[in-house]
Amino acid sequence: MPFENLLLSSCLLPGQTYFKESQASVEVKPLTGETILFFNIDDQSNPGCKLRQFLWGTETGQKMCDLMVFYAKDSERVICFVELKHNIGHLGHATKQVINTYNTFKVHLKKSYTAKAFISACGGSSPREYKEYQRELLKEFGKNNFDINNRSNDALGDLLRGIPPKTGQGKRKNKK
């Protein structure tokens, strides 16, 4: 299922730049000149999407993320692999889902895009292995090409646009 076929499949969510699963959600408000396409690729929540069968055939047990988001502006092209979790404590599982989906999907595309990953959770406490999961995402996607977010703002839009994640919000710097 080349990317062109995804455009014609039931994976595409026409006109939607908002997605909710369980209690977690993501939204991107398109700016002038941007094209943003959401694809609900997980056949658990979208049985009509056949991407899993294309990527893995009859093999079962493969971890897959919830969404793929295509972003274009001028000559820039981004494909972002998105996983939503109710609890950030499931970060390890989410990390495996976005990496596995990307690694399997990328063999079917020419490398004429930037790959990114976005994991969002609406609650919970960060797992002890948080930094380990960050390293895995950094190794796979590169610096400034992933975000782990449990904040309510346009973090996915910022990631797609290449705006680095805001860190240390709410913390004061010590003055000398």
The pLDDT assigned to 58 comes to 76
Q: Which pTM value belongs to this model?
A: 0.88
Flag whether 172 is in a domain.
no
Residue 141 in tokens: 């996607």
User: Total domain count for the chain?
Assistant: 1
Q: Structural domain of residue 119, as residue ranges? A: 3-161
Flag whether 96 is in a domain.
yes
Flag whether 166 is in a domain.
no
The pLDDT assigned to 96 comes to 96
Pairing relation of β-strands 67-73 and 76-85?
A: antiparallel
Flag whether 173 is in a domain.
no
Flag whether 10 is in a domain.
yes
Query: Which one, of 23, 129, 119, 31, lies nearest residue 73 by Cα?
Result: 31
Flag whether 33 is in a domain.
yes
Cα distances (angstroms) measured from residue 13 to each of 18, 40, 68? 9, 7, 10
The pLDDT assigned to 14 comes to 92
Flag whether 167 is in a domain.
no
Mean pLDDT of all residues in the chain? 85
Weakest-pLDDT range from 30-39, 78-87, 108-117, 150-159: 150-159
24-72 per-position pLDDT tens digit: 899 999 999 999 999 999 888 888 888 878 788 777 778 899 999 999 9
Flag whether 71 is in a domain.
yes
Query: Which one, of 44, 57, 72, lies nearest residue 1 by Cα?
Result: 57
**DSSP reduced 3-state for 21:** strand
